[in-house]
Amino acid sequence: MRPIRDEKWQPVTIPLVAILISFIAAAIVILIIGKNPIQAFYNLLQGAGILPKPSYAGYKSMLTDFLSLLNAMTPLVFASLAVAVAFKAGLFNIGVSGQMLVSGFLATILVGYSGLDAIIAKPLVLVIGMTAGGLMGGLVGWLKYKFNINEVVSTIMLNYIAQYVISFFIQMYYIDPVSRQSQYISEAARLTLVNVEMANLKMDLPLGFILAIFTAVFLKFFMDKTVVGFEIKAVGSSRNAAKYAGMNVGRNTVLAMVISGGLAGLAGVTYYLGYFASIQPKVLSSIGFDSIAVSLLGNSHPIGVIFSSFLVSIIEQGSTYMSSQAGIRQEISSVIVGLILLFSACGAYLKHKVSSLKDKELDQKESES
């Protein structure tokens, strides 16, 4: 308990304790259904490319599985950073999925079907993603500032609007008659290099992964070392105090949502034009909602988000192999993620209990002396 009692280390230790408790709870669930939790977790790591499998199909290895994990993790990092920035400003961006969809769709029809060379298409996809997501997030921030419309309500409504309007256009103009999804984009516009042959292996190389790590590092610097970042956090801590200190609350609210939406846009293009190469009509990506749990687990810290995204991606990517080898339904992985979210949400309670125990001990020592 000593690391948890140290306030300096609580942003790290409390999420670790939450993860530990959630895996213990998941182990109990697995025991209840009559399976071996140690074997299940071992298979989970094998499926995610962290541990080797007994055998592999042709052109596959532990490395190819691990690269697939990073490919799936990339949009989750961007989406979780989007939620984290909004949290820092005291906002709840629950519209990440809608912002992802709009950005992915616009990049698809403007670049994915254009026939542009890769050297132009790939950067253009990123620019369109950031711009579309930023504009959509900025709209939410403006509605919050101008009309005091709760961002949760506006983002949920925009999610539905994006979902069904884009579904209409896909089914009317861009549908693939075989897959019943949007037509596949050109390889030149795709942000994942698929089936790259190297060392007798066929690998998927996520080009956006390095950008995601760089973005997280830059975001930490931006929030901690710049005036704008400080003002965004100040507005999130107390709007009245920030206004009294002379900060422009409205501008910082809109700016925070523009940044959040831009990051969601990057999540959208790395998902729909990276991890996948098409868009399924009438479906919002679950990444936009998983990112809330990931951001909470990472304490809304950009570097913490990287590690929490890695953990959640392991659970989700390894679930299929765990199901086939340990005979455990894939839904157990969702149970584990849900438990992580549940115990992460108890972080404030843990801080309160630790603080109360320290106060009691201090009072006891004073009474004894």
pTM here is 0.92
**Within-domain flag for 314:** no
Report the domain count for the chain: 1
User: What parts of the chain have a pLDDT lower than 50?
Assistant: none
- Residue at 210: amino acid letter: I
pLDDT digits (tens, 9 = 90+) for 196-248: 998 889 999 999 999 999 999 999 999 999 999 999 999 999 988 998 989 99
* Predicted local confidence at residue 107, as pLDDT: 97
Question: What percentage of the chain exceeds 90 in pLDDT?
Answer: 67
pLDDT digits (tens, 9 = 90+) for 249-292: 999 999 999 999 999 999 999 999 999 999 999 999 999 988 98
Burial of 282 (0-12, 13-18, 19+ CB in 10 A): exposed
* Predicted local confidence at residue 348, as pLDDT: 67
- Positive or negative torsion for Cα 130, 131, 133, 134: positive
Residues 287, 259: Cα–Cα separation, whole Å: 18
**Within-domain flag for 12:** no
**Within-domain flag for 251:** yes
**Within-domain flag for 156:** yes
Angle at 183 between CA 177 and CA 184, to 5 degrees: 130
CATH number of residue 253's parent domain: 1.10.3470
* Predicted local confidence at residue 176, as pLDDT: 94
**Within-domain flag for 330:** no
> Do residues 272 and 98 touch, judged by C-beta distance below 8 A?
no
